């Protein structure tokens, strides 16, 4: 219907859905839709056209602005560390370290510094799954009173390579093959292992990524490391070397490989969801910040080079000094604005923290700034709110793409006699680089002190418990079995022979390789070192349920009082109980009450939980046994070595799953609530997985 001539159309009414109904919302400045220039929009439903059915007019600037902004909503994802999760929080200084550094945020016990922390995988693209076998990035931006300090590291204390010039080759080899763009987020392919077979310096890192460290249970349960040797400088100008360590309050925990695969299917966002929900629920993740500090004389006495990023310093050699703690207590308000646009840079340091000649670190000092210029559009990315320092920023840098400020005045240079109030250097408070003496020829060489590639790889493997060693063997067999080129498999096994004879023999057997293994040529002899239990997840694990989740499988007729008692006991232990039922609406208890469910059984598999309780009624257990998802709930919990509490009503589930209902004498992870107590169940669950069960459920090469 055409509009009457000379009569403006009726203004559109703004309708908002509320509980399934539409109502008119009162218009006000805080709700009025505008363009990016602040112009109120009269119609956000229709383009400007020539007549109702005519062509759209180019002059529709509202349409063009909206579409243009939408077209550019995505920025290039990070080449590495693309898939990330992050949170706000604070760092609290626990001990003054003025004796070794003048870094302001480490001077006053009790003082808190805002932080933003991002965790990530490395190899996968932004849309990949959380439980890929991979390194986890662990980057922290400290908003200190003297500028931003970025501690940009990983959950593994060493790296693949000595020199940053090899980083593009490493990542090209680990990423998808360029001709086919797969496999995604995994290293189980020829190009990665071909590179490893020809780069023996990577073998130490390979031991770590083939270990359970690469498939963590939660981002709240990983360690973090600055990787490099940093130089700390105190107010008197004295230098001390340091390595940075983050240690989780909840302790470390990992999943088993089959569990990781099923978690990726059940919930590709498992780590993201876990971190978000923990913070939203008030269970704030916490880490200790500890330092390993040592002098130049100590560094010279080590039998490895502290500038070699493929090496670590065992804690038995240099103990950790706890200097602070980090608490993450607030989720991002907008993923893109904060988590995606945060720009970390190794070069962001404060007075009292300086660099060393680690060639990997030296290359990172260039790379991070360069990549942010590409991703975030220009030199002013530091003006994005998440990247802004929380102290005064004053300099003479001007203009550039996306300049957000409005610098005033005629003078944008110094020295100047025309601008008495312009920013000027300060010899008293400005950053000073430590005056380390340097001399030598200009050469492209590796120092001989970097030549031992296998001693610390051997140390790591020897420091693992038996289950952890088995997992490393299994991971190597799995990954190398995905390589199509026999030469690649054989060459890697030859390198492994320099790490440990038994390791290489077991991997070769798992791959079906015949004949005697000849170790690859080594640049330096491999030595034995005393095992370091601190390198093992299991050796230093302490019993706890803090931060864990218990899954409770129920049915109609379930004992509601028992569930309530279990829930109270679980929460008292610092864990959470989630109810899994045949229907998401819940079940009716034996007392006639509604017990709401957190998950429908096919959407709440046991892989989501650290331990499970099977509490169906006898009739309900028989019905659940007809549901494959319920049977798999029990079968997977058993196969993933979890502690299982059960009532007699769950017996059909064990039978259908082909499992024997054993007693605690034969399997301490099976707790009958007829014979045992909830306390027995929680004590067993706090101990973690039932490792003696593992030989019953999977073959280990």
What residues are annotated to the active site? 81, 154
Q: How far apart are CA 446 and CA 442, in angstroms?
A: 12
Q: Cβ–Cβ contacts within 10 Å for residue 127, how many?
A: 11
Q: How many CA atoms lie within 13 A of 20 on its CB side?
A: 0
CA pair distance 596, 72, nearest whole angstrom: 43
Q: Is 592 left (phi over 0), alpha (psi -120 to 50) or beta?
A: left
Q: Which residues of 332-370 are buried (b: 16+ CB within 10 A; e: fewer)?
A: beeeeebbbbbbbbbebbbbbbbbbebbbbbbbeebbbe
Output the CA torsion 561→564→565→569 (10° steps). Answer: 170
Structure tokens at 283: 């269970």
Instruction: Kindly give, in sequence order, each residue whose CB lies less than 8 Å from that of residue 374, ignoring residues fewer than 6 positions away.
Output: 76
Rounded to whole angstroms, the Cα distance separating 570 from 612 reads: 11
Q: How far is CA 338 from CA 118, 285, 392, 624, 683, in A?
A: 10, 19, 21, 44, 40
Alpha-carbon distance of 138 to 395, in angstroms, equals 30
- Give 142's contacts (C-beta < 8 A, 6+ positions apart): 91, 105, 113, 114, 115, 148, 149, 150, 151
DSSP letters spanning 546-602 = TT-EEEEE--TT--HHHHHHHHHHHHHTT-EEEEEESSTT-EE-TTS-EE--SEEGG
Q: Specify the DSSP class assigned to residue 239.
A: E
HSE, side-chain direction, 13 A CA sphere, residue 233 = 17
Residues belonging to the chain? 701
CA atoms within a 13 Å half-sphere pointing along the CA-CB vector of 676: 21
Q: CB neighbours (10 Å) of residue 462?
A: 17
CA distance 210 to 460: 11
SS3 322: strand
Q: Are 270 and 83 in contact (CB under 8 A)?
A: no
Tell which residue, 134, 59, 149, 137, has the closest CA to residue 101: 149
Characterize the bridge pairing of strands 594-595 and 599-600. Answer: unpaired
């Amino acid at each position: 219907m055409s509009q009457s001539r000379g009569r403006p159309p009726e203004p559109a009414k703004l309708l908002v859905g509320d509980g399934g109904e539409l109502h008119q919302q009162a218009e006000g400045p805080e709700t009025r839709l505008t363009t990016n220039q602040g112009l109120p929009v009269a119609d956000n439903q229709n383009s400007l056209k020539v007549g109702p059915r005519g062509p759209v007019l180019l002059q529709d600037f509202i349409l063009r602005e909206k579409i243009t902004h939408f077209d550019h909503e995505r920025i290039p994802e990070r080449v590495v560390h693309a898939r990330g999760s992050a949170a706000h929080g604070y760092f609290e200084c626990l001990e003054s370290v003025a004796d070794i550094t003048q870094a302001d945020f480490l001077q006053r016990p009790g003082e808190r510094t805002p932080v933003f922390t991002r965790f990530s995988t490395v190899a996968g693209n932004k849309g990949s799954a959380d439980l890929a076998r991979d390194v986890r990035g662990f980057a922290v931006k400290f908003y200190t009173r003297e500028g931003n300090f970025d501690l940009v590291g990983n959950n593994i204390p060493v790296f693949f390579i000595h020199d940053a010039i090899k980083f593009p080759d490493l990542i090209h080899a680990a990423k998808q093959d360029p001709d086919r763009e797969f496999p995604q987020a995994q290293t189980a392919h020829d190009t990665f292992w071909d590179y490893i077979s020809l780069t023996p310096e990577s073998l130490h890192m390979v031991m770590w990524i083939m270990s359970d460290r690469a498939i963590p249970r939660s981002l709240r349960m990983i360690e973090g490391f600055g990787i490099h040797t940093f130089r700390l400088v105190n107010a008197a100008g004295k230098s001390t070397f340091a390595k940075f360590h983050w240690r989780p309050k909840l302790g470390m925990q990992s999943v088993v490989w089959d569990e990781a695969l099923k978690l990726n299917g059940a919930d590709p966002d498992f780590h993201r969801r876990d971190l978000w929900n923990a913070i939203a629920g008030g269970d704030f993740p916490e880490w200790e910040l500890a330092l390993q500090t040592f002098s130049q004389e100590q560094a010279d006495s080590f039998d490895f080079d502290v500038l070699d990023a493929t090496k670590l310093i065992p804690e038995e050699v240099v103990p950790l000094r706890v200097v602070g703690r980090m608490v993450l207590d607030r989720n991002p308000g907008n993923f893109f604005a904060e988590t995606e646009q945060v720009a970390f840079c190794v070069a962001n340091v404060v007075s009292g923290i300086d660099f060393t000649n680690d060639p990997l670190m030296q290359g990172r000092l260039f790379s991070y700034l360069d990549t942010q210029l590409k991703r975030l559009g220009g030199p002013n990315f530091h003006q994005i709110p998440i990247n802004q320092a929380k102290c005064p920023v004053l300099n003479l840098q001007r203009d550039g793409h996306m300049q957000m400020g409005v610098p005033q005045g005629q003078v944008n240079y110094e020295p100047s006699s025309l601008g008495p109030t312009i920013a000027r250097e300060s010899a008293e408070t400005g950053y000073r680089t430590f005056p380390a003496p340097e001399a030598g020829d200009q050469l492209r060489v590796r120092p001989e002190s970097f030549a031992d590639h296998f001693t610390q790889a051997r140390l790591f493997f020897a420091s693992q418990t038996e289950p952890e060693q088995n997992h490393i063997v299994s991971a190597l067999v799995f990954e190398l079995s995905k390589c199509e080129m026999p030469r690649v498999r054989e060459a890697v096994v030859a390198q492994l022979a320099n790490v440990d004879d038994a390791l290489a023999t077991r991997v070769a057997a798992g791959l079906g390789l015949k004949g005697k293994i000849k170790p690859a040529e080594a640049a330096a002899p491999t030595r034995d070192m005393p095992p370091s239990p601190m390198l093992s997840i299991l050796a230093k694990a302490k019993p706890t349920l803090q931060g864990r989740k218990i899954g409770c499988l129920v049915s109609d007729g379930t004992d509601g009082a028992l569930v309530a008692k279990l829930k109270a006991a679980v929460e008292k232990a610092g864990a959470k109980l989630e109810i899994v039922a045949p229907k998401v609406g819940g079940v009716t208890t034996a007392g006639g009450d509604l017990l709401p469910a957190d998950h429908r059984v096919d959407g709440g598999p046991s892989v989501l939980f650290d331990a499970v309780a099977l509490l169906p009624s006898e009739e309900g257990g028989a019905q659940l046994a007809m549901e494959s998802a319920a049977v798999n709930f029990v079968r997977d919990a058993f196969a993933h070595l979890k502690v299982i509490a059960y009532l007699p009503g769950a017996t059909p589930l064990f039978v259908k799953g082909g499992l024997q209902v054993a007693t605690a004498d034969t399997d301490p992870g099976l707790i009958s609530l007829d014979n045992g107590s909830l306390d027995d169940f929680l004590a067993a669950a706090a101990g973690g997985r039932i490792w003696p069960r593992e030989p019953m459920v999977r073959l280990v090469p």
